[in-house]
Every structure is written in C-alpha cells, then in structure tokens.
Amino acid sequence: MFDLPVRSLKGQVSDVEWQTRVDLAACYQLVAHFGWDDLIYTHISARIPDTDHYLLNAFGVAFDEVCASNLVKIDIDGKILDDGPFQINPAGFTIHSAIHEVRHDAGCVLHLHTIPTIAVASQPQGLLPLSQYSMFSIASMSYHEYEGLAVNPAEKKRLQDNLGANNHLLLRNHGALTLGTTIGDAFMRMYDLNRACEIQLSMQASGVDNLTVGKPIIDNITAQAKIVHTGTTGGQKAWPAMLRKAYRINPDFVK
C-alpha cells in the first residue's frame, strides 16, 4: 500500500533522455543521503540535451523515492509533457524556469533549503572568504533578496538579473541555488557551497578571531574554480564516483 506506482520508461525514451533521468535521480538520492533534502520540497531540474524539455521531481515524492522513471517531463512553462500519474508543484518551478529561460548553458539547476546555506544567506555579509571551499563559490556568487514564496512571476526577472553569469546564488532568508552545464557540475558546486557555509558557521561559533583570505587571491581564483568544477576534475571525474555511491545507497533509483 505504500509503494509508488512506477512504470519503467527504459526503452520508451531516447538514450540521452534516459541517461539524464538516471543522473538526475542519482542527484536526488545523493541530496537525501547527505541530509540536504526538505521533506518533499525544493527541486533539482535538468534539461534534456538538445531539447527545450526539462525533468523535475514529482510533487509529493520524497527525494529518496525519486527514480529515473518517476521524474516528470515538462516544458519551460511547467506544462507536463508525458502521460504518467505524477504532477509537479507549479510554484516550485518558478525559480528553475527563471534560470533556464536565460541561462541556456544550465543543464541542471539545483535549489535547496539546507540549514547552513539559509543561515549564511541570512547574514548581512553573506559568504565570507574563510576556507578553500568558500573560494570556489565566492568566485561566482550572487545574492537575491527575499520576496516571500516564489509564486510571483514578476520576481523571475529580478532572479535572472541578480544571478547574471554566475553559477552560485544565495537566496536571502531562503536557501541556495547552483547550476552547471552537467548535473555533476551543479552537484559539486552545491557540495562546496554547503561545506563552505558549514565551515563559516563553525568558525563563527568558535568565538575566536578567524583568518580571512586576501582579495588578490580571491580575484585570482576564478580561473581555478572553473577548472575544479568542470572538465576532467569536475563532473567528468567526480560524478561517476557519485553515481556509484548512489547505486550503493539505493539501486532502485535506476528503475
């Protein structure tokens, strides 16, 4: 009585779409594994390569229940394109559609409500240059002021303008967003950002003075961050290991 109805789509969709589904389902499993999920809320979206179609989690499905076949295929307006039994939370796609509309390089948009990212996003100074992890995020960081629940279409333009060409966004009093050309790149960016926020909060709680990294190093690290998060040291190298981890956690995600 507690099993989700899942009709396998393997062989029913293109090989490219199926691989995107597997990668995205693995990302949901990893987010749940690391404790970054928020019940059935928050979202990770992925564009199916060479299309204007996107995959998103079904509304009401926990992250550790997500599998390749119960992801929902939608267009940029959130209209469901397949005939499965699942729906999406239209309001939940507002942020993602805003980014996908203007950032055509974004193969994946990852938006979470982790405690560390909410806490740092709610500090006036935001993310500080206190650790190597923070360097990767600060090199490509934007901020967006809190406007309440993301249900106002007018907010989309402000989200787009605030993000610009960056790949990290701290939403004030709300959470965090990362994007990447691949799902692996977006995941790595969120991993580093969340870890940077955890370290910042820990250092601030210590009650002692903390060393900060100087501006010349921060200015110089943008190129290094691009290397770390892309190419053979980014998703191409780390993501296969994360896929293997996801399979060990819950092999059912490939259904």
Residue 139 to residue 134: CA distance in whole angstroms: 9
- Domains of the chain are 15-245 (3.40.225.10)
- DSSP structure string for 200-249: HHHHHHT-S------HHHHHHHHHHHHHHHSGGGTHHHHHHHHHHHHHHH
Q: Are strands 141-144 and 168-171 parallel, antiparallel or unpaired?
A: parallel
pLDDT of 226 higher than 70: no
6-31 pLDDT per residue, tens: 888 998 999 999 999 999 999 999 99
52: nearest Cα among 84, 77, 85 = 77
- Would you give the distance in Å from CA 157 to the centre of its chain? 20
129: nearest Cα among 217, 188, 228 = 217
Q: Of the given ranges (115-129, 139-153, 162-176, 223-237), which has the lowest mean pLDDT?
A: 223-237
178-219 pLDDT per residue, tens: 999 999 999 999 999 999 999 999 999 998 888 888 888 877
85-135 pLDDT per residue, tens: 888 987 778 899 999 999 999 999 999 999 999 999 999 999 999 998 998
Residue 238 to residue 205: CA distance in whole angstroms: 31
Q: What is the pTM of this model?
A: 0.92
**Which pLDDT score is estimated for 206?**
92
